[in-house]
Every structure is written in structure tokens, then in C-alpha cells.
Amino acid sequence: MNKDWADLPGAGFKGDVPEFPLSDALTVEVELWADLWSKPQAAAWASLGLKYQVAAYVRAFLESTAAEASAGLKTAVLRMETELGISVAGMRQNGWQISDSTGASSVASAPAAASARRTTTGSWLTGVAVEKP
């Protein structure tokens, strides 16, 4: 487990789920809202007061799934996923890891693999045999 990362509860968020704060909520928005607030990331959203940002993501995500959705909206949704830590890349960017009851992390090993890919040319090519003329 990476001690520099914030641990999120592996069992998901167990706090009170806020009401969907946007007007004219559709049933599908409320369902996605409830699903998202059951995820481990919701613990961080609650402590940071991000209910409006999560609601904006819910609405934008559902709009982005329409056939006529613009590329700009789809790109915005991907950025929102990252900033809210919904994607794995977003969890890494936010320094979040999901821990289980034993304290093990499901994300801690991923940054090590990512940093290994960002090494200099000399170090990642050390295993490559090069014939000299």
C-alpha cells in the first residue's frame, strides 16, 4: 500500500447519499447518482463537498451517450471522470487508492508500473541486445 496516497473504503461509501441537486431530474439520473454514491470515491466527494460536480457529471454522462452528442461533450465527460477519480487514471491523479479490510490496496501497484514506463531510454532498453558492426 502506498502511504502517500489517500485510502478510500473498499466496501464503498457508507455515509448519507445527498439528494440529486439539479432540477428536473430524470429517473435514470437518480439511479446513476445512487450508484456513483455507493462507490469508494464517494467518500472523498463527500469530504470535499463535490455533490454539484458529481451531479454535473451524471447529467453530462447521460447526455453524452446520445447518438447526437458532440465530441466536445464526450471529451468533457472524460475529463470529469478523471477529475472526480471515477477512472483509474483519475484515481492515480488524485492520489487515491481503494483499500480492503486488510489494508491492501488495489491501486498501489499501478503507479509503480506507470513510473517504470517513464524511465530514460537507457534504462528501459537495458534488456535489448544490440549488435555492434
pLDDT tens for each residue of 91-110: 999 999 998 765 555 554 44
Domain ranges in the chain are 6-124
- Give the per-residue pLDDT at 18: 96
8 residue type, one letter: L
Instruction: Report phi then psi at 4, rounded to 5.
Output: -85, -5
- Give the per-residue pLDDT at 108: 42
pTM here?
Answer: 0.74
- Straight-line distance from the first to the last Cα atom of the chain, in angstroms, rounded to the nearest whole number: 47
pLDDT tens for each residue of 60-94: 999 999 999 999 999 999 999 999 999 999 999 99
Query: In angstroms, what is the C-alpha Rg of the chain?
Result: 19
75 residue type, one letter: T
CA distance 72 to 22: 22
